[in-house]
A and B are shown apart, each in its own frame.
Chain A
């Protein structure tokens, strides 16, 4: 393992930074650290990135007093990793008491734009997402394997309904505008719509 105090890397990329050289700022009371060493960096990068970049040779190290070394506290990791082998996106076409039908297309295959009809049980969906199973609702269907912290690979199929709109306000307004234009073009009358025409 190459440490970050070694000379320039022989390769284009360096290998893994030594874990013992990281400051465990994420694992300690930040107020205490701040009081002792000054203000912590303020950014919205992820913890992973902070840990990767806050190695011993970065400016963060200069804040530590001489002779003092902070070790990362061993942390348990319950987060599962999922390797997606195939991903479909689809929309619900029909809902019954126990099941729902949907049209899906394979988004892992960039050439594939063919829809397939599939049927799922409602219980294939997480209980907190089941009230989203309505005609027209879009969802993702991932098939792959979940790797637990013990490195066991568990084959799995996961259906997820976006719990937050994937469409931006601008996209929704644009879609409404197109729909209104089409309705009027077809002579089907006006629809109630107070949205503003997109720029």
Chain B
């Protein structure tokens, strides 16, 4: 399988539910064997509070508020660890109510030329209709959503393509694998962890396919 040559990659796992942010501090990850003490000591802790905890290490960013928990990473070799830490965290906090889960794969892909980037924009959004109104219409952002999901899970898959703010000329591509863990009644995090276990790998493969396909256009 071809893999993407994107210059910048990103992964974030987003959970929506009811969280106790103060738990998610580096010391807790050390006490549970998910992080070394040296790593925790090196963490850049922005805030640890009952309402929000935010800290970063080179390989993981943790941002937890009362309703939203985000585990992120911008270095592909550490994706597996971030997914593992996320899964193990909510294995331990399995009674945490989680309503929705998102696995986001992102890439900033360099275009061979500005013309190639424009060609991608025209391929994704043909302009013949807009040419009636504008002299030079330009695509700002495009989102394509598959709903319902193709794996019979509740939720959707959405691909967004924009101009990259970090690589120019380049495209930013994001794939949001959105899962409704349970509609209405809240369930514990164990269901979300099962979804991460079963869907992380397929989501990574799917993202790779999309990134490679976009790269071919650039």
Contacts and interface: CB of A to CB of B under 8 A. Distances in A.
Please provide the 4 A-B residue pairs with the shortest distance between their CB atoms, ordered closest to farther: A163-B84, A44-B102, A12-B121, A9-B138
Nearest to B42: A78
A144 B63 CA distance: 27
Nearest to A58: B141
Nearest to B84: A163
Given A9-B138, A44-B14, A108 B3 contact: yes
A83 interface: yes
Contacts of B72: 46-47, 79
Which of A8, A49, A126 has the most chain B CB atoms closer than 10 A to its own CB?
A49
A160 B118 contact: no
Interface in A1-31: 4, 8-17, 26, 29-31
A43 interface: yes
A80 B14 contact: no
B57 A11 contact: no
Interface in B85-135: 85, 87-88, 100-102, 104, 106, 114, 117-122, 134
A185 interface: no
17 contacts: A8-B134, A8-B138, A44-B178, A46-B10, A49-B106, A52-B172, A76-B56, A79-B59, A83-B8, A84-B9, A87-B76, A126-B81, A140-B77, A160-B77, A163-B81, A164-B200, A165-B197
A39 B196 CA distance: 28
B36 to A, nearest CB: 6
Interface stretch (A59-67, A96-104, A166-174, A175-183): A166-174
A168 B202 contact: yes
B75 A81 contact: yes
Contacts of B61: 78-79
B70 interface: yes
A158 B78 contact: yes
A61 to B, nearest CB: 15
A80 to B, nearest CB: 4
A75 interface: yes
A162 B75 contact: no
A42 interface: yes
B34 interface: yes
A48 interface: yes
B208 to A, nearest CB: 10
A4 B106 CA distance: 22
Contacts of A79: 56, 58-61, 72-75
B31 interface: no
Given A8-B138, A12-B117, A31 B78 contact: no
A140 to B, nearest CB: 7
Contacts of A169: 198
B12 interface: yes
Nearest to A17: B165
Interface string B20-48: 00000000000001111000000110100
A108 B70 CA distance: 29
Contact of A14 (B7, B83, B138): B138
A44 B199 CA distance: 15
A13 B198 contact: no
B170 to A, nearest CB: 9
